[in-house]
Chain A
Amino acid sequence: MFPFLKFAATRAVLAITTLILVSFIVFSLMELVPGDCAERYVAFKASQGQVITAADVDAERVRLGLDHPYIERWGKWIINAFQGEFGDSCIQRLNISRLLGQKYWISLGLCLSALALAYLIAIPVGILAATSKNAVLNNSLRLVSYLGLALPNFLLALMIMLFSTIYFGDSLTGLFSKEFRDAAWSYDRVIDFLKHAWLPVFILGWSATAFAIQTVRALMSDEVDKLYVTAAAARGVSGRRLMMRYPARHALSPIINSLGFDLNRIFNELPVVALIMTLTEAGSLLIEALARSNDQQLAGAIIFLLTASIVGINFLTDIILALTDPRVRRSIVG
């Protein structure tokens, strides 16, 4: 048990180091945006009719702690960030955690469901494609996976909107019906949410599914011809039992490893898809923060949270792999 704990601890340290590096990049970006929070606050006051002097701006800087050196403020930011506290948004003058709140969890939920959907489809289909000699099936799957790249999710979303508007007269956008938009969570609201959420999940999962099928197929076809499979077949195991118990187990561990990067890809699509489908969650909040109002506090917080979820997933998959894959377990225990 001890070597495993050591392994887990090393991974945890690595994950935290990555996060600290990420926070440094994000924080530097926030700093590089022209103008700081103090100027924004004061500009707001000026727009309310107050007379503002340069001294007021400096006083505001002191109040916000912006007069401290860069490294010190970064340290403070990261310590707060690890506690889920990102300070106030300069533009909206609201607490960021409250602003993000459940929106972030909804986005994460959508992305994780998209990821789950991708693999629910990809694993059986990929295994089937690798083991069957059917040329039509293989070629059509190749086409789908090429389209997964060439028709990115946001174009797919646009196409679906185009067709649904023409044929159903409804563009199928949004996450809630009008009456539930600001209501508290209730049974009806959950049902309403699920009724709307399937399409964004499908669209977000589209490219991921295409990629995943490709990966599963490639990994699986590398394994099916190996000697241990022949040996098992010689012992009388056959059909689905043979495939699932021997090559599939080998082929699937690298996939667990790459889940983090798949999630990364889905996050990439999130903001643009969110904009098209008018989903009111973190993705569109990010666009709002960047494109419309230049709200660097909020944007930084969102990017940091997204990356933190990816790092978290990577950490989890490392641990899961160490627990489930005897080969990895062996290499840790030595």
Chain B
Amino acid sequence: MTDAAATSAKDQKLKEAYFTASQGQLIWQRFKKNKSALIGAWVLVILILSGLFAPFLTPYDATIAGRDKEYLNGAPQIPHFCDENGCSLRPFVYTQERTRSMATNFRWVTETKTGLEDRRYLEFFSEGMPYKLFGMNFSTHLFGVDKGMIHIFGTDSTGKDIYSRTLTAINTSLAVGTIGVMIAFVMALVIGGVAGYYGGWIDSTLQMITDTVRTIPSIPLFMALAAFVPDEWSAEMRFFFISLVLGMINWPTLARRIRTHLLSERNQEYVLAAQLCGASAKHIIRRHLLPSFTSYIIVDLVISFPYMVLSETALSFIGLGLKDPVNSLGVMLQNVTSADVLLNYQWYFIPVIFFIVLVLAFVFVGDGLRDAADPYSDSKK
């Protein structure tokens, strides 16, 4: 008897917790149940953190300042524990030296020295090039080697460390994506909001314009816009312009969703109830309409994020987007179509894996969030 009372009280409490839970808590509850989305979220957090802390996690500067003159187009160096000269508790890589002599027919050849004295031992928290993180100066890196340099993903044709570039590129892509999404969001909110709130001919006209922009294939349009950038612009200006362009072109889809949502919410009973209680339009929009779809907007933003990243990559890849010294996946892939790279330097493609994982993580999280934010997702099944 007391047991049953206790359980029913517990049930009551759970029910109460369920009914009084905020939108955010409900979404989080549903999101947690989705395994693939949860894994995606973890991967995403790790990638974002590794992008943010790239200067610490990478041994060298990703720009030309961090190049290794001795190791151009160098293959990835994988740390060993053992070789024919015996084992070591500390992992090591070999010294590579560029030599040119009679024996090599006077061409530059990279020679790997495997002697005991040529081992470069891996060090953690080693002191290296100074860098700035969150406005402060540091010079400790997660790892490095005691002499010379280490390149776990190899180097490119100018000797820049591909591992360092990859992590920095994640940072760039996230930044471009964020700025682009924000611009698209503001435009979508204004245009979709106006169309949805006023309705009537304003809505029809704005819809016409939105649909027209949607019909134009966006990458060719990007290309046309990106062609405006004069060559003499600095890398930073280019960066902001490209983010701006990405945002300016991606707003229609978002605007359409916001408008549809506003149109349907505007005629809901709770809005009418608020109006009858004498609430002002400002109050209704702020306290009732906006909270009703913030979760949807956040989901939409997460979903549109990978498209931004991919568009930037495509643009930079064909040479119309970002340029050196800014690192992004597109910039890093610029020269890979040459037969030389395809045949001899396949490690140029390592960053691609990171980006596929990044985009996949975003897609999984976006899908998971969408399912979680949909109040009917449980009843559908």
Contacts and interface: CB of A to CB of B under 8 A. Distances in A.
Interface of A: 17-18, 21-22, 25-26, 29, 32-34, 146-147, 149-152, 154-155, 158-159, 161-162, 165-166, 171, 260-261, 264, 267-272, 275-276, 286-287, 290-291, 294, 296, 299-300, 302-303, 306-307, 310-311, 314
A120 B355 CA distance: 30
Interface string B343-379: 1001001001001100110011000000000000000
Contacts of B217: 264, 267-268, 270, 303, 306-307, 310
B225 A29 contact: yes
Interface string B314-328: 100111100000000
A149 B209 CA distance: 27
A290 B320 contact: yes
Contacts of A26: 216, 224
* Main SS at interface, chain A: helix
A305 to B, nearest CB: 10
Interface in B289-326: 306, 310, 313-314, 317-320
B324 to A, nearest CB: 16
Contacts of B219: 267-269, 271-272
Interface string B68-106: 000000000000000000000000000000000000000
Contact of B216 (A34, A270, A291, A307): A307
Most interface-central of A149, A165, A264 (chain B CB within 10 A): A149
A29 to B, nearest CB: 5
Nearest to B222: A268
B227 A286 contact: no
Nearest to A161: B342
A302 B317 contact: no
A158 B337 contact: yes
A21 B320 contact: no
A222 B325 CA distance: 50
A13 to B, nearest CB: 12
B193 to A, nearest CB: 22
Contacts of A268: 217-220
Contacts of A151: 356
Given A158-B336, A166-B346, A290-B223, 17 more contacts: A18-B212, A18-B215, A21-B212, A25-B212, A149-B359, A150-B359, A152-B314, A158-B349, A161-B342, A162-B342, A264-B215, A271-B219, A286-B223, A303-B216, A306-B216, A306-B217, A311-B215
